[in-house]
Amino acid sequence: MAQQRIAVVTGGMGGLGESISTKMADAGYKVVVTYSPSNTKHKSWLDEMKSQGYDFGAYPVDVADYDDCAAMAAQIAKASGPIDILVNNAGITRDMTFKKMGKADWDAVMRTNLDSCFNMTKQVMDGMVERAWGRVINVSSVNGQKGAFGQTNYSAAKAGIHGFTKALALEVAKKNVTINTISPGYIGTKMVTAIPKEILDSKILPQIPVGRLGKPDEVAGLIIYLCSEEAAFVTGANISINGGQHMY
């Protein structure tokens, strides 16, 4: 029997991260989640997941801090074994117009959303190449493709993710390691569904040709595919999952 592959999902306790983590566990992967050191609800989340049959490994890490990522990855490798799959899902927003945006607002988003891809991927790539198998899925956004008012920092970071994906995919393609980007549109996470209904109905849903929000499980399903053997010929891709909102 093949050894169970180990998958790390950064930001795995968030709305989308939770769906990714549970669906990957359902698919047979050993899932380890990371969470922000400032997250005070991690224990209750882990208990809730355990009550549903999910026994996740979980580690606090500041994905914007390279040394913290290195220490955390070493802990995971020691406790669970080498990391086969990395889902770079962690991210934040600091939305405001460029006129109002300060350097700290720019830096926080770039470090957490873009630098984190380097910080985390650097810890696992050599091992993936040596073992001649690996999957990295970077979670970008429709707003990295088309831009969004009040998101110069976020859109720049999310666009940068795909440049990172394409260049690294070229370097490791012959080693059976694939690097891909997914770009979700509006997904029905707790954050999005908290938007007032009148705003959803009048401003957001009319932009989406399928006429609804995406489901977190639909995004997770795409990630499951990209982790599979059937997706071994897909690398350097950016797959949009936005209900037709932006066709790129």
Could you list the active site residues? Answer: 154
Q: What is the DSSP string of 35-99?
A: E-TT-TTHHHHHHHHHHTT---EEEE--TT-HHHHHHHHHHHHHHH----EEEE---------TT
* Both structure tokens of 144: 């990295």
Contact in structure between 92 and 113 (CB atoms under 8 Å): yes
List, edge to edge, every strand of the sheet that includes 85-88: 57-60, 30-35, 6-9, 85-88, 134-139, 177-184, 238-241
d(CA 149, CA 110): 17
d(CA 216, CA 22): 11
Q: What is the DSSP string of 179-193?
A: EEEEEE-SB--HHHH
Contact in structure between 86 and 8 (CB atoms under 8 Å): yes
In terms of Cα–Cα distance, which of 35, 19, 38, 37 is closest to 27?
Answer: 19
Phi and psi torsions of 197, nearest 5°: -55, -35
